[in-house]
Structure 1
């Protein structure tokens, strides 16, 4: 039978032998959303798991066999719901261990909330847990969550690191953050939390001025507030809001690249589409002009283009055939979908290596430790690095807008291999300033004209005016002195007779 070959083990204690043919049974309990409203929903990422599991089972058929079980329900429809129904995991866990206590059980969470219950359950049960959805930085704590790995494609910690490095590289110590508070997507609020919690902000080295953008906000009013407090502004919101915001900056004459800096902070993918100027409407032309002063901070990936295209083609087909969901013609499987493929391949590799080393893979703490500070490679999507805190570390880029092709082009990037920002070869950021230096974070004369440099500059004209006034006043005094001196001389000698008048005449 397929997949049932004799397994061999280095030590008898290294694992429990499954009854089906002697191979190790690995069971993935995958918990998450079923409605495909979020990119990490089961119908969208499940095909990636299926493809990765099939490949792993073929490659390691004499060592292990992986199966998966989805845990979800009609009541789990939103991010907040995933954290509210963890009792479903408990029921499956206890029911499964009673029936199949000879298998290796691994939890996988595809959530989009910040709940830590998942990691707490895995710690208490001492089993490996993998978060393949949105990463919660709190679970980087290896004491509180020793069996949890964060393998999702997006990390808030990475945005915080890039934020600090960009400000340091360009000598900015005072910046603003305009962020969407409508709740349309949770990302902007999470970015604000990440920036505010960064070491530079907490220490006072970097001042962060928040500018919340509530629903139906008057963007002109918000821009007026920004003009009085910031020149370097990060923006986070829905693609529609970013476009509208930049159009308003152009209307307010705030897109000068030598005075204002606008940086949109984005996810590589959101279910409502990418940040773009193009909407095929009457504002496209003005939006394109406004985007010329915009840069983008975004997680970026180095995939093999052809291999990645083939993998996404497989995922697209399986999504329709097995999960009943069909992608729109202009959409393709996301990084969450391809990441699930890599999770399956990575798990198979580490479990196999642990078996060969004679490790007790039923010890969740020990098994999780095998993933730390290690790079894994899967041809379609490149390399995946898990750091010492159990979190995946991707690359993040700063990309100016390129008018020639109407999109953003990578200029600087940061990843786990370097401590400073790295420049993409043959690229340069055009600032339109003397010497092409990054703009100041504060106007030369201050936001209200109170700058020390402007006071020094204004001394010269003041001195000139004062000198002229003094000269005029002095001249006037001299004139008065001369006039009164002459008049006084004449007035005081009225009694004197001239020589002809005092000549004696004969009688």
Structure 2
């Protein structure tokens, strides 16, 4: 059970598993079986995925041609543009969306681990044609592995956004920052002054006139060496 509880914090993002309508799919299967039996004298138990893929492509084209005008039906460019930024839904392929670039966009799901069933299940849905925000999946709750059962904060505890303060940070973070600043800044200034004073005293003891310039433009200590 300890290991299972650890999986609660694991989230998985993947294309949503779209299950077609069972009643419509069974009706479509029976139509395929009866059609091939009557017209081609071929009997098989169930069509494969290639039959469904071909049926889907023809069905999408039929939907476009049905809504397209006379000019668009004779122009390949205009006809192809009708497939862009459009949603398609069929009995056997569930739902698909083609964006403005002609790329098929799958619905993405955020999966959370269900400790009871020991499996991942969809909790949040992202679909471009519906919304730009994450949408909750009916019947499923996000199983956040936190003490309060809520999503973790977008920011660390300190500093972090907090309403009710003018600075935008929690009060204790503001107090800690002010305390640290009031201690560190004077300490750094005192350290710098100590180092400068130490160098000054050292050179002054070595030669009281080290800072003077002789008449020939050379430093005083250099002239003494000569």
TM-score by length of 2: 0.49
Q: What's the TM-score once normalised by structure 1's chain length?
A: 0.24
**Which structure has the bigger radius of gyration?**
2
